[in-house]
Amino acid sequence: MADFKMQAKANAILDAVSSVIVGKEEVEKLVLTAVLSRGHVLLEDVPGTGKTMMAKSLSKALDTAFARIQFTPDLLPADITGINFYNRKEDEFVFRNGPIFTNVLLADEINRATPRTQSALLEAMEEHQVTVDGKTYALSEPFFTIATQNPVETAGTYPLPEAQLDRFLMKLSVGYPSKDEEVRMIERFLNDNPLQKIESCASREDVLAMQAEAEQVTVSEPVMRYIVEIADATRAEEAIAVGVSPRGILAMVRAARSYAYIDGRSFVTPDDIKTLAVPVFAHRLVRRTGTGRNMDGAQIIERILSEVSVPTEDFGSVATEA
């Protein structure tokens, strides 16, 4: 059994976020999974379901730098990355950092900006660096983007292309709370704002340490094959034009390790893969158009999961032997 000295910090982060967000523990866990996987999250849901509040709560629970960018049609790439400006006093050009030079970046309503501006995030999300006027600047670690978009009010918006969607480790939906949860939400916000009371419970160094520990989680060969079988099935699916790529497979491995780590396990199980399949794989599918192909990516993944054989080993024993 791996010695996860920092695992308790993960639970503390989730507890802090749960003190603000009511009834969305699984979504919170998936967002933290993405952070520990060095990935990024796209939150898509109707207005008012708590997407921005989720991002703010996470940023306050982490003692790291935070920046928010409100994406609009007139936003320029330089407004994100920064610019070189002429300093008359020094008689030279000086680079002024943009808001992307942070640890936790909230890209609010990302689909309202033009494709040119959206693409300014690609290099940063994939390589954790920014290139301006031929010079490359490294971003500080950890770097995590949580982007939001609304599936309604789409007039004047710019849907993210498949290549950019593939940069997100997960695509999640917060969803409406239950009636009882909404009553609890009213009670929680009736006389106070719990967001203002969140205290940081994990430093930048803590996050880096948790990321390193998550990478020590064991993935057995049968689980690896299970991931590959699911991905391969998406490529053979008639309703799918482009299935899960090798990058998507590696993304699943990273996510599964972090998800198991948050659970306090030193090994990944097939149940982890089942839980993560829709958030990690569904948004990477490019569907064909035509009659009879009305299933969305999530439904297709769910059907594939019901058809692919699940390994039945004792994965705890496999991990111990490894």
Q: What type of residue is 253?
A: V
The percent of residues above 90 in pLDDT, for the chain, comes to 44
> Does any domain span residue 101?
yes
Whether 200 and 250 map to the same domain: the answer is no
Its pTM stands at 0.88
Look up the CATH number of the domain holding residue 30: 3.40.50.300
Whether 112 and 258 map to the same domain: the answer is no
Whether 173 and 99 map to the same domain: the answer is yes
> Does any domain span residue 1?
no
Whether 167 and 107 map to the same domain: the answer is yes
For residues 259 and 117, what is the distance between their CA atoms, to the nearest angstrom? 32
The percent of residues above 70 in pLDDT, for the chain, comes to 93
For residues 275 and 270, what is the distance between their CA atoms, to the nearest angstrom? 9
Of the residues 184, 210, 236, which one is the last residue of a structural domain?
210
Mean pLDDT, residues 136-144 taken together? 91
Which residue, among 225, 80, 107, 250, has the nearest Cα to 166 in the 3D structure?
Answer: 250
- Identify each DSSP E strand in 215-304 by its residue range: 240-242, 286-287
Whether 44 and 129 map to the same domain: the answer is yes
For residues 101 and 139, what is the distance between their CA atoms, to the nearest angstrom? 6
pLDDT in tens, 2-35: 678 888 899 999 999 998 888 888 999 999 999 9
Whether 293 and 189 map to the same domain: the answer is no
Whether 164 and 304 map to the same domain: the answer is no
pLDDT(170) > 60: yes
Would you call the peptide bond into 222 cis, given omega within 30 degrees of 0 as the criterion?
A: no
pLDDT at residue 318 in the model: 55
> Does any domain span residue 224?
yes
Q: How many domains does the chain have?
A: 2
pLDDT in tens, 305-315: 999 999 887 66
Whether 199 and 317 map to the same domain: the answer is no
Q: How confident is the model at residue 154 (pLDDT cuts 50, 70, 90)?
A: low
> Does any domain span residue 70?
yes
Whether 232 and 127 map to the same domain: the answer is no
> Does any domain span residue 2?
no
Whether 16 and 163 map to the same domain: the answer is yes
Whether 290 and 275 map to the same domain: the answer is yes
3-state SS, residue 196: helix
> Does any domain span residue 23?
yes
> Does any domain span residue 283?
yes
Q: 178: domain range? A: 7-210
pLDDT at residue 215 in the model: 94
pLDDT(320) > 60: no
Of the residues 176, 210, 244, which one is the last residue of a structural domain?
210
Whether 39 and 153 map to the same domain: the answer is yes
Look up the CATH number of the domain holding residue 223: 1.10.8.80
For residues 276 and 215, what is the distance between their CA atoms, to the nearest angstrom? 17
> Does any domain span residue 185?
yes
pLDDT in tens, 112-136: 999 888 888 888 888 898 888 888 8
pLDDT in tens, 245-271: 999 999 999 999 999 999 999 999 999
For 135, the enclosing helix (H) or strand (E) is strand 135-138
pLDDT(272) > 90: yes
